Amino acid sequence: MTISVRYNLIGKGWSECIIKIGDRQARLTASYLSDALADLLDAVTLIVKGTNEATTSFTEESGEYRWRFKRVTRDRLEVLILWFNETWSDRPDEEGEVILEAECRLKTFAGAVLSASQRVLTINGLDGYKEKWVNYEFPGKLQTKLQKALR
């Protein structure tokens, strides 16, 4: 099964993430109101390290993409991405619109997220990332944590 994660800074304070798992695909956006890439790296690292479930969000203006990761087996992961019309929504998952739902190999997904983060750094550099992402530095420490967890 093919897994692809592309994360791009698409303007000052805006990013997009295009995720493909098998034949399913979604395009999400996030604003600088949250540290989207850092939060994604952190949640994926938790799952790789053995946590059974992790959640993160991409904040929009207005709205929220909620990522839910659930370990299905030792090496399989369920990825669920939901859309909510409210920013920082505390609504239950059942009230969200399903944007993507798929099961995949955990390490393959984590590797795709890691590669996406490295591509962002390569394209933008540390200074360019900060200039475009405004409120946040590049999440280098979280990237390193995920690298170590995957070893």
Length of the chain counted residue by residue:
151
96 pLDDT more than 80? yes
Measured between alpha carbons, how far is 29 from 50 in angstroms, rounded to an integer? Answer: 28
For 16-57, what is each residue's pLDDT tens digit? 999 999 999 999 999 999 999 999 999 999 999 999 999 999
Residue with tokens 């993160």: 56
Residue with tokens 């540390």: 126
List the structure tokens of 108.
Answer: 């393959």
Q: Name residue 20's beta-bridge partners.
A: 4, 25
Measured between alpha carbons, how far is 111 from 147 in angstroms, rounded to an integer? Answer: 8
Q: Name residue 10's beta-bridge partners.
A: none
For 71-89, what is each residue's pLDDT tens digit? 999 999 999 999 999 887 7
Cα–Cα–Cα angle for 15, 11, 83, rounded to 5 degrees:
30
Separation in Å, CA 95 to CA 81, 132, 137: 12, 33, 33
Enumerate residues 6+ apart whose C-beta is below 8 A from 70.
52, 53, 77, 78, 80
Q: What percent of the chain has pLDDT over 90?
A: 93
- pLDDT recorded at residue 90: 85
List the structure tokens of 51.
Answer: 């946590």
Tell me the pTM. 0.96
User: What count of Cα atoms within 13 Å lies in the side-chain half-sphere of residue 92?
Assistant: 1
131 backbone dihedrals φ, ψ, rounded to 5° = -65, -40
Taking residue 145's Cβ as centre, other Cβ atoms within 10 Å add up to 18
